[in-house]
Amino acid sequence: MSCSAWSSSSLLEFKSHFNSSSRKIRRSFQCAPRASKIATETKPSSDLPHLVLHDSLEAAGIDTRHARDAREGFCSQIGRMTELNGESSIAISGGADLAKVALQIAAEDDSLVSHSSVPLPVSSFISRLDDLSFGFCSNYLPPPGSSPEIFLGNLERYLYVDKGFRRIDSALDARSLYLNSTLTCRSGSATMLSLIYSEVLKMVRITGFLDFDAEIYCPDSLEKSLPRGYDKKKSKISDETHIMTARSLIVKILKNLKDAFWPFQYGQSSSLFLRAVHAANRIYGNSVSQDPTTANENVSPMEIASAKAAQHRLQRGVWTSVRFGDMRRALAACERLILLHGDNEELRDYAVLLYHCGYYEDCLKHLTLFEASQEREHKTNFINKLEDDAVNILKTRVNLIMAEDGWNKPGSSTSYWSSNYEPW
């Protein structure tokens, strides 16, 4: 606790000043002009095929207003990332409001899986973050002149002991991947805890209570530790690998969601794309006419059964199931990664999901765009060769399907959602 006690009147005055500063800071994120270079990087290219999810849901009679609003909010924030602040540490980043980015992601996914007639209250959760920062500033600031170690020790005791934030495995509870759930339940993934730590640290710095260069150690998925702060002047070169930038944080959030909700969770490969392509092979064989029971004889019956079960759920419209993925949220994560202009392999992964949903024309367009990408690097490792072969097989299969009468008639692409779009 701080050595000096606050009187009730001075505490109210401080909170009023703190809230006023917080509103100005959040407003500066909203009003920040877009950099012309980044406007072209983050806005969808005119050559990019349209993203399917919202339009296909709406064509099936599903209300997408709140999901579209959240997506627009997400695009608005990432449109404010310049190359410079996108590669800045989350402890000091400007441009995009990372908390709002995370909450707009949560708001869209919440709209996709709930029947709520109201959107997720993003502003309320922003206020929770501000209250968290105010609580530290009003009760846990060390005396002036204290060492960085004491300052950061107080902050971590406040977050992890008194407030009770803890890290949990997203495989056990997917809610840990969302900022709103982490703030509510006080348990979340390492990425969400790193974001909360950075938001408190930035607010303390902006209000003038931080007088040293603080950095955040963000543990990776293999570590069980919590995010910790340290004085950058005393850091080692090895510490730099654990620094998370604004852009890498957003990519990490989206890839965590993509991994968690990928509809094909089981398979011998670590590649999500290969798992989805192999699932198609288990069901249909390596060609349209091949009997799947005679194809891939080296594959276990358990893997074939798992792939068929996944396809059976998709055909019935059971798009979400505990530990079996969620097609809507997997598609949404892929679309946001494409909008972020990350790895071009996101186009390929998105395409294979469209294939399983029956959107063959859009699948082919994204596969073609992936293959034509000028930025695609030549990779020689074994997994990448398998993935390239799988792209060719998938493209051939889609061309054969589209050549058959009736597959691409107007209205056929809505059948996936309209068959049974409820999650229960």
Q: In the predicted model, what is the mean pLDDT of residues 237-258?
A: 88
Q: Specify the pLDDT at position 287.
A: 39
Domain ranges of the chain: 8-255, 264-318+343-419
Across the range 161-190, mean pLDDT stands at 94
**Which of 169 and 49 is assigned the larger pLDDT?**
169
Looking at residues 209-232, what average pLDDT do you find?
A: 87
Supply the pLDDT for residue 2: 43
Q: Record the pTM.
A: 0.83
For residue 148, what are the contacts with CB-CB under 8 A and spacing of at least 6?
212, 214, 230, 231, 234
User: Within a 13 Å sphere around the CA of 244, how many CA atoms are in the beta-carbon half?
Assistant: 26
Taking only the tens place, the pLDDT of each residue in 349-381 is 999 999 999 899 999 999 999 988 755 556 667
Q: How far is CA 40 from CA 36, 80, 105, 238, 367, in A?
A: 7, 11, 21, 34, 22
Provide the β-strand partners of residue 216. 229
- Token readout for 148 is 């960085």
| Percent of the chain whose predicted confidence (pLDDT) is above 70 | 71
Between residues 34 and 242, which one has the greater pLDDT?
242
Whole-number Å distance between alpha carbons of 380 and 373: 17
Q: 110-124, 213-227, 272-286, 392-406: which has the highest mean pLDDT?
A: 110-124
- Answer whether 70's CB lies under 8 Å from 118's CB: no
What pLDDT, on a 0 to 100 scale, did the predictor assign at position 233? 87
Instruction: Look over the chain and give the mean of its residue pLDDT values, rounded to a whole number.
Output: 80
Asked if 370 contacts 349 with a C-beta cutoff of 8 angstroms, the reply is no
Say if residues 368 and 47 touch (Cβ distance below 8 Å). Answer: no
